[in-house]
Amino acid sequence: MPFSKLSGRRLIAALAGAAFAAALATQAAASSSQAGTISAILPLRHGVVLFNHSGSRTATPACHTIPGRWAIDASTTAGQAALSVLMSAYLSGKQIAVLGQGNCSSHSDTEAVEHFVIVD
């Protein structure tokens, strides 16, 4: 039934259901990785930092085309904090496990990092 024919509670229920389905679809596309080492850290001029990670990974979003690579937007305060921790892990030789955002919002062919955990 088109939304234009819905009213009141039915419209709210339909919109809530659509929003819930969209949230599930976004989460389903996000990938995660097992523990692995960090390599090939590449800062780009627009504030994004790309890095490679050796941990095996679940399915990636369709936009992601380079295996093992992740992106952090270091132009934000949160991204700068994440980059600082990433560099500490790298310089200490620690492994990390990564969870992605399910999109390539920071760099067109690389999944953006949601968060990561130092494993070692």
Contact present, 32 and 73 (Cβ < 8 Å) = no
CA–CA distance, 32 with 102 (Å, rounded to integer): 9
Task: Quote the CA–CA distance of 51 and 62 in Å, as a whole number.
Answer: 19
pLDDT digits (tens, 9 = 90+) for 60-76: 899 999 999 999 999 99
- Of the two residues 20 and 120, the one the predictor is more confident about is 120
Q: What is residue 24's predicted lDDT score, i.e. its pLDDT?
A: 47
- Give pTM, 2 decimals: 0.75
Structure tokens that stand for 73 in this block? 């937007």
Q: How many CB atoms lie within 10 A of CB 94?
A: 15
Query: Which of 16-30, 70-84, 100-114 has the weakest average pLDDT?
Result: 16-30
Q: What is the pLDDT of residue 5?
A: 56
Kindly list the strands in the beta sheet with 38-43, ordered across the sheet, starting from the edge strand earlier in the chain.
38-43, 48-53, 69-73
